[in-house]
Amino acid sequence: MDPRAIHLTTLTSGWRTGDDEQARVLRILEQVPPEQLDTVLAGLDPEQLLGALSDRGAGRAYLSGVLDLLLVRRREALSVPVLAGLVAALHRGRTPRHHQELLVDVLRATEGRDFHDLKYRINASGDRHDLEQLVFHDLDEDLQDLLLKHLAEQAGVDPTSDLRILCDIDDTTRCMLHDDRYPRGIIYPGVVQLLLELDQGAVTDPARVGDLTFVTARPGGPLGLFERYTRDGLSGLGLPPHTVLGGSLLNLHTKAAITRRKLENMERDRLLFPECRMVFIGDSGQADGEVGAQMRTRAPEHIVGTLLHDVSGLGQAEREAWAQRGVQVFDTYAGAAAHAARWGLITVEQARRVADAVRTGLAVLELSTEQRRLLEDRLAADDAAIEALGA
Residues 174 and 78 in one domain: no
Phi/psi for 167 (5° steps) reads -135, 130
- Give the domain range for residue 7: 3-155
> Is the domain of 246 the same as that of 344?
yes
Q: Which of 121, 155, 189 is the last residue of a domain?
A: 155
Does residue 208 share a domain with residue 132? no
Total-model pTM: 0.83
Residue type for 166, please?
A: L
Residue 176 shares a structural domain with residue 277: yes
Cα 86 from chain centre = 19
User: Nearest Cα to 21, choosing from 48, 43, 52?
Assistant: 52
Q: Is the pLDDT of residue 31 over 50?
A: yes
Is residue 346 left, alpha or beta, with left meaning phi > 0 and alpha meaning psi from -120 to 50? Answer: beta
| Residue 118 shares a structural domain with residue 182 | no
> Does residue 318 share a domain with residue 285?
yes
Last residue of a domain, one of 155, 176, 196: 155
> Based on the domain organization, do 25 and 146 belong to the same domain?
yes
Q: Which run of H or E residues covers position 283?
A: strand 277-283
pLDDT of residue 38 exceeding 60: yes
Of the listed ranges 143-157, 217-231, 242-256, 375-389, the one predicted with least confidence = 217-231
Phi-psi region of 171 (alpha: psi -120 to 50; beta: other; left: phi over 0): left
In a shared domain, residues 133 and 203: no
For the chain, the C-alpha Rg in angstroms (whole number) is 23
Quick one: 126 and 269 in the same domain? no
Residues 110 and 189 in one domain: no
Domain at 211, CATH number: 3.40.50.1000
- 213 in helix, strand or coil? strand
Write the pLDDT tens digit of every residue in 323-337: 999 999 999 999 999
Bridge partners, residue 278, by sequence: 164, 303
Same domain, 85 and 23: yes
> Do 131 and 225 lie in a common domain?
no
What is the tally of structural domains in the chain?
2
What mean pLDDT comes out for the span 359-380?
96
How far apart are alpha carbons 21 and 29 in whole angstroms?
12
pLDDT tens readout for residues 126-176? 655 688 889 999 999 999 999 999 999 999 887 666 888 999 988 999 999
Average pLDDT of the segment spanning 50-55: 91
DSSP symbols for 125-150: SSSS-SHHHIIIIIS-HHHHHHHHHH
